[in-house]
């Protein structure tokens, strides 16, 4: 603790003696290394667990523990979340996007470690999910809380949040460009930025750490590629279209499984975990490559050793032949979606990044091998395996540039850049036709809770209801006399007065312009009553209305003020002036 305080004092001294740009670059370095360390620790822990688990193959012909470990991992994860995290697991990149749009980039401190713990348990014990999403969440939380500690502005906080995510992804794959692309395409959607230097530096720091510490047995790399043949372009285009369709299958299947567990299965968390874990056990019994992240199986396919994935399976005891392998691979890429969605929906922790790469690899191998078997062609299977990984990632996460640069970086060059671009963009375009938004954010976009490409809408979403409501209004009663009304008018600083009955129920409002006419006309004062001065409108605002809905009501009503209610009770007025002022303030906040 003493060291931490000294560290803070040093940074505060540096902060006071550097320009804003210089401190942001230093912050990018610190956040990048911190997120990189978190990513390295998580990958190493899960790798060591898998090494211990795989040693059972030396004793048993079939990996018996693989049937029970995912179940145990999911149960432990649920227990940790309920016991230590108060039920708030905060899993999924969508939670970070929610923090950006709804909480101005302020992320809970617990997210700096919660996802590392829960995903390490789930994936380490064989849950069929990925570590990249949890690493991105962890890195984002590190960046956000660093910015909070030094009281940085909204834009600087969002930038450092993105730096943490970029560094985490870069460290996982030793791919700094991929980290930057991920931050731009997934984290910073709808956020306008011009200063990307800290983002690039953070990604480089994360990748540098993983390069120094992690070995090739942990890192995701390939070096057995064949030269690109332009004659295969039609097959790459077909592959891209099919990847888009499979991405839609991935998204919709995941949604149905999640809906079943969360809405239709009326069980407690532990019973759901037990049920989901048993299904995973059955799937791992039939298809051992579904155990854990599955990168080992992906390497086997892309490296020309597909028979390796049969080890420990029922198919392996039958004997090896090409069509049996093709059938096995085809079933696996279809079943991976169920394995992942059940792992997560039943209480496990992890992400969809690795599962989408896994599904792509198995589909790419299936596609190219079937064509080679049915024709006289000789498509490069390893190339198609890798390119399809990019295709499914692009179609599932709606991040085509991330997919392109990931495969380019892990293969050590840009030999496949043309097929990567063809498959990535065609897959993304096809998926977009069926689903306008990615599966991780679809439900949040529907509720207008996160940013989209509509920048103006994003600014509006930053405005909170309490920022635009005014409750400080004078009150008169509907049976008050005109002298009593005039007395209230003289005391008020507002242009509008609330009128209630004697049960303090809202009856309407009185606009000062109407009262002004009465003040100047003694004859009208003698004839009129307060009740006759009350104005009413059928248009009103509810505390749960969205800002865009409120704006639509203003446009339709052509009013300058609208009464606001909560549970049927009047709580104040919202004015166009206050709304426009809030919009201007949020706009300044995002561009300053």
Mean pLDDT over 458-476 rounds to 79
Q: What is the mean pLDDT of the chain?
A: 84
The predicted pLDDT at position 195 comes to 75
| Full set of structural domains in the chain with CATH | 2-213 (1.10.3080.10), 230-449 (1.10.3080.10), 463-591 (3.10.580.10)
Rounded alpha-carbon distances, angstroms, from residue 504 to 164, 416, 480: 52, 73, 13
- Give the Cβ contact number of residue 373 at 10 Å: 11
| Residues 148-172: tens digit of each pLDDT | 888 888 888 999 999 999 999 999 9
Out of 107-111, 370-374, 487-491, which region has the weakest mean confidence (pLDDT)? Answer: 487-491
* H helical segments located in 375-446: 381-397, 400-410, 417-434, 442-446
**CA 422 to CA 404: how far, in whole Å?**
10
The predicted pLDDT at position 361 comes to 94
> Both tokens of residue 549?
């809905």
Q: Does residue 587 have a pLDDT over 80?
A: no
**CA 376 to CA 211: how far, in whole Å?**
42
Torsion sign across C-alpha atoms 222, 226, 231, 232: negative
Out of 209-223, 251-265, 333-347, which region has the weakest mean confidence (pLDDT)? Answer: 209-223
Would you say 387 and 371 are in contact if contact means Cβ atoms under 8 Å apart?
A: no
Mean pLDDT over 256-276 rounds to 92
The predicted pLDDT at position 246 comes to 97
**Which stretch of DSSP H or E encloses residue 77?**
helix 69-84
The closest of 480, 389, 455 to 427, measured between CA atoms, is 389
Q: Does residue 573 have a pLDDT over 80?
A: yes
SS3 of 50-67: the string is HHHHHHHHHCCCCCHHHH
Would you say 350 and 91 are in contact if contact means Cβ atoms under 8 Å apart?
A: yes
Residue 333 CB partners (closer than 8 Å, separation 6+): 246, 358, 359, 362, 363, 366
Q: Which of 67-76, 90-99, 215-224 has the highest mean pLDDT?
A: 67-76
Would you say 232 and 379 are in contact if contact means Cβ atoms under 8 Å apart?
A: yes
The closest of 50, 28, 353 to 203, measured between CA atoms, is 28
> Taking each helix axis from N to C terminus, what angle separates 295-302 and 353-374, rounded to the nearest 10 degrees?
30
Mean pLDDT over 518-538 rounds to 71
**CA 129 to CA 116: how far, in whole Å?**
13
The predicted pLDDT at position 62 comes to 53
Would you say 358 and 143 are in contact if contact means Cβ atoms under 8 Å apart?
A: no
| Residues 73-102: tens digit of each pLDDT | 999 999 999 998 887 776 778 888 888 878
The predicted pLDDT at position 247 comes to 96
Beta bridge partners of 303: none
The predicted pLDDT at position 584 comes to 80
Out of 265-279, 401-415, 571-585, which region has the weakest mean confidence (pLDDT)? Answer: 571-585
Q: How would residue 61 be classed by pLDDT, with cut points 50, 70 and 90?
A: low
Q: Does residue 384 have a pLDDT over 90?
A: yes
| Residues 42-54: tens digit of each pLDDT | 999 998 887 777 7
Q: How would residue 401 be classed by pLDDT, with cut points 50, 70 and 90?
A: very high
Q: Where are the beta strands (DSSP E) in 75-196?
A: none
Task: Scan for tokens 């991992």, then name that residue.
Answer: 73
> Both tokens of residue 181?
């692309």
Q: Does residue 330 have a pLDDT over 80?
A: yes
| Percent of all residues in the chain with a pLDDT value above 90, rounded to a whole number | 39
Would you say 45 and 39 are in contact if contact means Cβ atoms under 8 Å apart?
A: no
Task: Scan for tokens 């005109």, then name that residue.
Answer: 482
Instruction: Tell me if residue 543 falls in helix, strand or coil.
Output: coil
**CA 511 to CA 496: how far, in whole Å?**
5
Mean pLDDT over 227-231 rounds to 86
Q: How would residue 441 be classed by pLDDT, with cut points 50, 70 and 90?
A: confident
- Give the Cβ contact number of residue 543 at 10 Å: 14
The predicted pLDDT at position 160 comes to 93
The predicted pLDDT at position 63 comes to 57
Mean pLDDT over 431-444 rounds to 87
Instruction: Tell me if residue 565 falls in helix, strand or coil.
Output: strand
| Residues 118-140: tens digit of each pLDDT | 999 999 998 999 999 999 999 99
* DSSP symbols for 205-224: HHHHHHHHH--TTTS-----
Would you say 407 and 389 are in contact if contact means Cβ atoms under 8 Å apart?
A: yes
Angle at 272 between CA 267 and CA 273, to 5 degrees: 150
Out of 86-90, 108-112, 306-310, 462-466, which region has the weakest mean confidence (pLDDT)? Answer: 86-90
Quick one: how far is CA 196 from the chain centroid? 20
Would you say 320 and 380 are in contact if contact means Cβ atoms under 8 Å apart?
A: no
Angle at 361 between CA 356 and CA 366, to 5 degrees: 125
The closest of 494, 454, 459, 457 to 476, measured between CA atoms, is 494
Residue 214 CB partners (closer than 8 Å, separation 6+): 40, 43, 44, 174
**CA 291 to CA 276: how far, in whole Å?**
14
Is the entire prediction scored with pTM above 0.85? no
């Amino acid at each position: 603790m003493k060291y931490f305080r000294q560290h803070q004092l040093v940074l505060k001294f540096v902060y006071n003696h550097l320009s804003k740009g210089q401190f942001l670059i230093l912050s990018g370095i610190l956040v990048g290394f911190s997120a990189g360390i978190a990513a390295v620790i998580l990958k190493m822990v899960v790798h060591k667990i898998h090494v211990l688990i795989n040693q059972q193959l030396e004793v048993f012909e079939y990996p018996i523990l693989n049937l029970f470990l995912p179940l145990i991992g999911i149960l432990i994860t649920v227990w940790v979340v309920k016991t230590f995290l108060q039920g708030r697991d905060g899993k999924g990149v969508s939670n970070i996007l929610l923090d950006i749009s709804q909480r101005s980039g302020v992320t809970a401190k617990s997210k700096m470690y919660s996802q590392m713990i829960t995903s390490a348990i789930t994936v380490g014990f064989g849950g069929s999910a990925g570590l990249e999403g949890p690493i991105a969440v962890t890195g984002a939380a590190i960046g956000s809380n660093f910015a909070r500690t030094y009281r940085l502005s909204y834009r600087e906080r969002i930038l450092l949040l993105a730096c943490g995510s970029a560094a985490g992804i870069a460290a996982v794959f030793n791919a700094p460009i991929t980290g930057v692309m991920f931050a731009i395409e997934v984290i910073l959607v709808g956020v306008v930025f011009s200063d990307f230097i800290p983002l690039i530096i953070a990604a480089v720091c994360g990748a540098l750490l993983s390069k120094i510490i992690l070995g090739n047995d942990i890192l995701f790399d390939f070096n057995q590629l064949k030269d690109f043949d332009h004659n295969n372009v039609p097959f790459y285009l077909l592959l891209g279209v099919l990847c888009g369709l499979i991405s839609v299958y991935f998204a919709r299947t995941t949604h149905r499984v999640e809906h079943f567990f969360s809405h239709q299965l009326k069980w407690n968390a532990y019973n759901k975990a037990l049920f989901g874990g048993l299904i995973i056990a059955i799937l791992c019994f039939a298809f051992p490559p579904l155990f854990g992240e599955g990168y080992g199986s992906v390497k086997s396919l892309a490296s020309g050793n597909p028979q390796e994935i049969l080890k420990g399976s029922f198919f392996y005891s039958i004997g090896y032949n090409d069509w049996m392998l093709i059938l096995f691979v085809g079933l696996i890429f279809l079943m991976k979606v169920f394995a992942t969605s059940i792992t997560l929906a039943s209480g496990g922790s992890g992400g969809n990044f690795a599962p989408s790469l896994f599904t792509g690899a198995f589909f790419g191998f299936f596609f190219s091998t079937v064509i080679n078997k049915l024709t006289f062609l000789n498509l490069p299977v390893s190339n198609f395996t890798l390119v399809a990984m990019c295709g499914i990632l692009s179609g599932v996460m709606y991040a085509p540039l991330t997919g392109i640069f990931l495969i380019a970086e892990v293969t050590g060059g840009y030999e496949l850049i043309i097929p990567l671009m063809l498959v990535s963009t065609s897959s993304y375009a096809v998926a977009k036709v069926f689903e306008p938004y990615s599966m991780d954010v679809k439900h949040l976009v529907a509720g207008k809770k996160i940013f989209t490409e509509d920048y103006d809408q994003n600014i509006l979403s930053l405005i909170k209801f309490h920022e635009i409501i005014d409750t400080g209004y004078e009150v008169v009663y509907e049976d008050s006399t005109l002298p009593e009304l005039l007395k209230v008018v003289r005391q008020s600083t507002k242009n509008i007065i609330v009128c209630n009955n004697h049960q303090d129920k809202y009856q309407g409002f009185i606009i000062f312009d109407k009262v002004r006419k009465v003040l100047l006309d003694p004859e009208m004062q003698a004839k009129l009553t307060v009740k006759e001065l009350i104005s009413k409108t059928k248009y009103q605002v509810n505390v749960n209305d969205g800002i865009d809905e409120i704006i639509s009501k203003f446009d339709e009503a052509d009013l300058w003020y609208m009464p606001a209610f909560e549970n049927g009770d009047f709580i104040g007025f919202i004015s166009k002036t206050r709304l426009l002022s809030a919009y201007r303030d949020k706009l300044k906040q995002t561009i300053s």
